[in-house]
Structure 1
């Protein structure tokens, strides 16, 4: 594998993960690569976790603050959480062990807009970054890094860190080189416009330049990215996808969209993947994506000639499609651009390209406020991710969701959202298997009927009864009956179902 480490200075720093973990100390802030289960370090997290368990066994403290691009995988977030090695985590996570620790109050977590997180590090809002642990495809003769399957916040962590540990992963295809477009935001107050006018514009280099003197260790790995496979689209997902495509057709009929002018952003998950499957048989051609992640459905669209270019910061591929990417990266790098997440999620570019954003939710209330993160207002699931970046700045912002969860015990449409990540000012269109609610141009009271129409039939009478009570209020701009506004959530907590 030494041919992947072409720089002599850095080749001399090769060591085991356990040896490299000795450079991580209690109280350190560690910036790690990784975004949605791609491009995260495969060996150091387990080695750090083992070190933590050994130190805890002596009755001593060992915890670190962990920053990433977004979620990682069980062999990163999971092993660190299980070893009680994490004090504070940002900006996004999705690991079940870590989630339980956070909700139990055993770990601190700050949910941050992904476009903001790198800037916050750059400006020193979190204090010193002690170490960066970054995965790469290879190291060039000049000591530059070729990123792997995610770019994320790598630039910010590499620049801010006192010490750098590089994992060179031979599982990652060498043909990924050339897919990346690395461009750094100038430091404040010397910002300039980001020179991206079209989705596929390349404005930077294919490598990351680093200070090689800060590198304390290089670790060789050969391990795959770990993402769960997408579930086959069920009937509800297909209905949601069909309703979303009906909405797009309505935009074409209104003259606001053309069949060859659709620029998309998509959140991660089975329903968004079903939407992309629906696009395969649609009238839309020359589709472009300016988004966070490349999913299975986007590769299918590229293969079918339906999508011409996709720009993101990472992959979020099933194991089957990750192998496909490794085998065919040379082909896909002609149409896929991987950028730093400060660029992929930047409001300036999102607004300029005029994309249609589509993200998931936990619940929406009858006025169009969206809860993306907390069950019952207090139990965090994953985080806001980049949905706020795209919702607030997209040409059109939509949210897609099944109408119920947990076999009907939870309604996705509620009287009053128990936690609000996206306000009624930003959400435009909500889609379920029962249709879509287009909220544009509607005062709050005029939204209620449309929102109830996409709720599950079992919950529509309860929502109507709530609004009737709320409409008796003295103040009618956004009517609420505060005494019963959270009855759905109270019923769920006390009786196991929002129906009561």
Structure 2
């Protein structure tokens, strides 16, 4: 392989430079759109060089910051490095880096949490302001300047179109065999000129295999050879297996009742241990010829594709363990016609989610006894990661399912509470709650009926009596009887946990 074999556009060969030289071209105070979705396809070297430049500038008494837009979370090379340098003024739309989280929660970084399907359209509407620079990882550059996307597409199409300047990282670690796996749709229009998106099956292709890029906007090309952020998954524990078991039993019941077809409907799954447990249970379960229309493909879906239980996956990026990455790369020819990678404005598009009838399965921090879900904030004010795509899917899914362990911190914290401290998904958008204790089907139920089912089926045993006691008293002393609530007490569980580390009452509360 020659030195520049992945850079086939002659006009861009003289733009090849080091990451440090490229980072020096990013203006102070710029708004920068970077590639990356859950760590896949993110630039690896330019952000770190930019962070080093900011740190040096701070040491010289001249601090500066940038505004950072991405597809979703990235990795330590971007969020970690820039947050450590205190180099981010505004961050959107999602993050999961511990240093970035600390900066946000201590008030040192502004953060706008955005539904992932909204990001590209809001950028086009001009809601976020001007995009100065795009820094995009690609697997290769074709002779006409078109780009072979990396392991995610995310918002890359939009960043390349809107940015005044473009910096490309050509990562030779990414397999060139990714070429052809992407479906980049350029047919979206601004209102009032929008037209329907013509996808009726998960594997429909309506776009192009490559990203368009005006070579005249490219100011730097940086060659890299580094892996994605591939974090190992924790072993699936008994609680996650129980959650998965409850869901499999529920799906079987729905098929028997005729509310789901025998091969279910397209699956969407969030990231994490529980999500992988569900995928593992489906691999061993009774359902065949499954499909997925999701944001992120994890190891569990690779396993389902290998087993033949899953026919195909539509996503916008990968979130694989190191073992999962090796499996994918080593068997790329097997996966090629089974995976399609799209922009996130398509993978998360409400029109498509509703048309396809997606079964959405996402994690939560907590739910209250009426079915409201908090998936982003601890004690109402400290951001964990962000809403991501869970809202895109929950509001529009055929089935909106939220999952969590019934308790945490050794049984001191309850996932089921009288009132959530922050609402991301209202009771109107939540169909099913699942914990390791059981499953609550909330469809067709009034608030009081939901409370009974949630306490009975989903609450941890050590909290059931306290939840029932709160509900009984609220039923009698609430201002209204439709959704019984004691406002002065509803958030006392969170206040108590902040103060003592436990939600358990030391004595029965009085009205």
Q: TM-score range by the shorter chain?
A: over 0.9
SS at match of 2:461: coil
Is 1:476 the counterpart of 2:478? The answer is no
Distance of 2:130 and 2:502 partners within structure 1: 46
SS at match of 1:50: helix
**What residue number does 1:16 align with?**
18
**What residue number does 2:43 align with?**
41
Deviations 1:288-307 (A, max 9, x none): 00000111010100000000
Distance of 2:391 and 2:298 partners within structure 1: 19
Is 1:225 the counterpart of 2:216? The answer is no
**What residue number does 1:498 align with?**
503
SS at match of 2:166: strand
Distance of 2:503 and 2:100 partners within structure 1: 27
SS at match of 2:253: helix
Q: Is the 8 A contact 1:200 1:311 kept in 2?
A: yes
Q: Is the 8 A contact 1:370 1:423 kept in 2?
A: yes
> Runs ≥4 in structure 1, deviation > 6 angstroms?
none
Matches within 5 A, 1:76-87: 76-87=78-89
**What residue number does 1:189 align with?**
192
Distance of 2:322 and 2:185 partners within structure 1: 29
Displacement of 1:112: 0.2
SS at match of 1:458: helix
Distance of 1:23 and 1:131 partners within structure 2: 9
Matches within 5 A, 1:336-375: 336-375=339-378
Distance of 1:134 and 1:335 partners within structure 2: 25
Matches within 5 A, 1:36-435: 36-184=38-186, 185-435=188-438
Q: How many residues align?
A: 500
Distance of 2:16 and 2:389 partners within structure 1: 35
Deviations 1:273-329 (A, max 9, x none): 000000111110000000001110101000000000100000011111112222222
Q: Is the 8 A contact 2:115 2:391 kept in 1?
A: yes
Q: Which moved more, 1:329-338 or 1:106-115?
A: 329-338
Distance of 1:489 and 1:286 partners within structure 2: 44
Match of 1:440 among 436, 440, 443: 443
* Stretches of structure 2 lacking an aligned partner (at least 5 in a row): 506-511
SS at match of 1:334: helix
Q: Is the 8 A contact 2:167 2:221 kept in 1?
A: yes
Distance of 1:195 and 1:6 partners within structure 2: 33
Match of 2:470 among 466, 472, 496: 466
Q: Is the 8 A contact 2:479 2:485 kept in 1?
A: no
SS at match of 2:281: helix
TM-score by length of 2: 0.97
Distance of 1:497 and 1:37 partners within structure 2: 34
Displacement of 1:209: 0.9
Deviations 1:354-409 (A, max 9, x none): 11110000000000000000010001000000000000000110011110112222
Q: Is the 8 A contact 1:363 1:370 kept in 2?
A: yes
SS at match of 2:78: helix
Q: Is the 8 A contact 2:268 2:361 kept in 1?
A: yes
Deviations 1:198-238 (A, max 9, x none): 01001111101111100000000000001211111111111
Displacement of 1:491: 0.9
Q: Which moved more, 1:227-236 or 1:212-221?
A: 227-236
SS at match of 2:117: helix
Q: Is the 8 A contact 1:26 1:61 kept in 2?
A: no
SS at match of 2:168: strand
Match of 2:494 among 472, 476, 489: 489
SS at match of 1:271: helix
Distance of 2:289 and 2:37 partners within structure 1: 27
Q: Is the 8 A contact 2:41 2:152 kept in 1?
A: yes
Distance of 2:244 and 2:464 partners within structure 1: 22
* Stretches of structure 1 lacking an aligned partner (at least 5 in a row): none
Displacement of 1:418: 0.4
Deviations 1:214-268 (A, max 9, x none): 0000000000001211111111111010001111111111101122243110011
Distance of 1:450 and 1:149 partners within structure 2: 42
Superposition RMSD in Å: 0.9
Distance of 2:294 and 2:178 partners within structure 1: 19
Displacement of 1:186: 2.4
SS at match of 1:127: coil
